[in-house]
Amino acid sequence: MKKITHLIAAALLSIAGMTAASGQQTGNSALGTIKQIKAGVLDVGYAEAGPVNGQAVILLHGWPYDIHSYTAVTAQLAAKGYHVIVPYLRGYGSTRFLSAQTARNGQQSAFAADIIALMDALKINKAIVGGFDWGARTADIIAALWPERTKALVSVSGYLIGSQQANKTPLTPKAELAWWYQFYFATERGRAGYQANTRAFNKLIWQTASPDWRFSDSTFAESAASFDNPDHVAIVIDNYRWRLGLVSGEKQYDALEQQLAKGPVITVPAVTLEGDANGAPHPDPAAYAAKFKGKYVHHTLTGGVGHNLPAEAPEAFTAAIIEAGRLAQ
């Protein structure tokens, strides 16, 4: 059944891709042709599907995943007339820094600034933004700091905006245990270990974050190719070290981080999602509900749905994008 679904998704993407805007093409994937565009400090690789005059939707992946988490979601949304953009984040896939001198910075606000730059480059004024893991945090930041660019939000695990100051507070021993890789990455041994064993490390994270998801070797390999990006290890290590205050961010993001440190509320229409078998660290939905001050709906999915929710429950994620858009009407 999964193979049939994958073939249907690929066919829909092929059809949808015929109406997508043209751009520099650099390769193909299950999401269709991968395009490139210069945006901000990056040359961003992205997949695009659906009619260009449709409602814009930007879908953001997390670590250690990539754009293929959204293969089925993209096909479903494109078939319904949405204009879907799925970019590789900095450090993934075909996304590259334009300058060798640019810091390989993994702080949270940098990712959000990247996506605003991408929207500018693609001339997308306003979009529904959705994501999970790093992508959910990035989507949250865009919704909080650039509400005028955000029609609606879909965020897996809800409100994930943090700060170095907040991260100084110790958690309970059980909660700290779940962040074992964050502490591993804080060491030189961890950096070297991740460099040497990137795919094995990330496959382990897939298994522990989604304990009930029986993904195939080919499914993992499809996403794992994006970890070969020359900046991947540097971005991942910097992301987790920045969270612990072990490295400094770049000064051009200081003003954004000062706003984020205050825990800004999100006023745009929002739908949050959680899986009942999410094995990755995540907050309880009740802990963040008050952060959403606009029209707001939460859904907890049952049936063994783990951390990679768009890939594990694509119909539910697609429905959430549509629901968020309706909330914005």
CA nearest to 160, candidates 69, 291, 309:
291
pLDDT of residue 24: 72
pLDDT of residue 296: 98
Name the β-bridge partners of 44. 37
Strands (E), 42-158: 42-49, 56-60, 83-87, 96-97, 127-131, 150-156
pLDDT of residue 311: 98
Q: Which helix (H) or strand (E) holds 191?
A: helix 188-196
Name the β-bridge partners of 86. 47
Which range of residues forms the domain containing residue 6? 2-327
pLDDT of residue 26: 63
In a structure prediction context, what are the per-residue pLDDT tens digits for the chain, which is 329 residues long? Answer: 333 344 334 444 443 443 344 457 766 678 999 999 999 999 999 999 999 999 999 999 999 999 999 999 999 999 999 999 999 999 999 999 999 999 999 999 999 999 999 999 999 999 999 999 999 999 999 999 999 999 999 999 999 999 999 999 999 999 999 999 999 999 999 999 999 999 999 999 999 999 999 999 999 999 999 999 999 999 999 999 999 999 999 999 999 999 999 999 999 999 999 999 999 999 999 999 999 999 999 999 999 999 999 999 999 999 999 999 999 99
- Coil/strand/helix, residue 275: strand
Whether the upstream peptide bond of residue 281 has omega within 30° of 0, thus cis, is no
Name the β-bridge partners of 25. 35
Distance CA 177, CA 229 (A): 29
What is the number of domains present in the chain?
1
Residue type present at position 62 = G
- What CATH number should be reported for the domain holding residue 221? 3.40.50.1820
CA 272, 87, 74 angle in degrees (round to 5)? 60
Distance CA 23, CA 114 (A): 18
14 CB-side CA count, 13 A = 7
